[in-house]
Amino acid sequence: MIQQEILPFIPQRPPFVMVDKLEQADENCSVTSFTVREGHLFVKNGLFTEPGLIENMAQTAAAGTGALAQRNNKPAPVGFIGALRGLQIKELPAVGDTITTTVTFIHQVMNAHIVQGSIRIGEREIASCELKIFLQAEN
């Protein structure tokens, strides 16, 4: 079940939520956890598929950005994946697995944020990539 505490930090809503809990958020790093559940939008044949892993990394970045915005009494910004680089998927998590995702801020150029994502099951890294995420300008 989705932790309701995550929803203020991300623009997505069920069934398109790929994070359950924000574990850590600061200016340099965001960490979330997510338990793969049967019937989820991106579960096929008992496995959480590649698009779900990519979106999980993006939502981890969004959750961290949203938490920082909330601390500054601002709304969570909306972002869009602009590009992926170096995507490596070594293993797909199964229903019942809990994944921990870490997104580390690399740099920013205007409204483009470059981050490095890494997904683990326990100590095993199962996926990683660099994402370019564009944030919508505030109105």
Q: How high is the pLDDT of residue 77?
A: 85
Show me where the domains of the chain are located.
Answer: 16-135
Strand-pair partners of 119: 101, 127
What was the pLDDT predicted at 101? 98
Residue 58: which H helix or E strand, with range? helix 50-71
| Residue 139: predicted pLDDT | 53
Q: Which residues of 26-65 are buried (b: 16+ CB within 10 A; e: fewer)?
A: eeeebbbbbbbeeebebbeeebbbeebbbbbbbbbbbbbb
| CATH number for domain 16-135, candidates 3.40.50.720, 1.25.40.420, 3.60.150.10, 3.10.129.10 | 3.10.129.10
Q: With contact defined as beta carbons under 8 Å apart, do 9 and 22 qualify?
A: yes
pLDDT computed for residue 5 by the predictor? 84
d(Cα 85, Cα 100) in Å, to the nearest integer? Answer: 20
The pLDDT assigned to 3 comes to 60
Q: DSSP string spanning 13-56?
A: -TTS----EEEEE-SSEEEEEEE--TT-TTEETTEE-HHHHHHH
Interatomic CA distance for residues 101 and 103, integer angstroms: 7
Residue-level pLDDT, tens digit, the chain, 139 residues: 446 589 989 988 889 999 999 999 999 999 999 999 999 999 999 999 999 999 999 999 999 999 999 999 988 888 899 999 999 999 999 999 999 999 999 999 998 999 999 999 999 999 999 999 998 876 5
